[in-house]
Amino acid sequence: MQGIEPKIHTSLIERMKYYSDLIKNSKHDSCINPEDAHQMMIELNELYEDYLNQKRNLEKSIKKYREFYQGQQRLLTPRIRQLKRIRK
């Protein structure tokens, strides 16, 4: 599973801000107005925050699974050994 690098996200946001500032200071008409560029930055940030929340939830789930798995291993291993001794 690949993740989103915070550095890449920050870099893109900075470039979008720079682009928005260029549009605002430009004398020429642009195909994208500054409000659209700002809206794109907001949406990108929301998606990134959603990604981070899902990543945290996944990490918690993995941790719970590992803990449960290890607990079951600790319970089963002695029982399996005991049954093997009894069968001999």
Secondary structure string (H, E, C) spanning the chain: CCCCCHHHHHHHHHHHHHHHHHHHHCCCCCCCCHHHHHHHHHHHHHHHHHHHHHHHHHHHHHHHHHHHHHHHHHHHHHHHHHHHHHHC
Q: Domain range spanning residue 52?
A: 6-87
Domain total of the chain = 1
10-residue averages of pLDDT along the chain (88 residues): 76 84 71 74 90 94 95 92 86
pTM of the model: 0.65
What pLDDT is stored for residue 12 in this prediction?
Answer: 85
- Let me know if residue 1 belongs to a domain: no
- Let me know if residue 56 belongs to a domain: yes
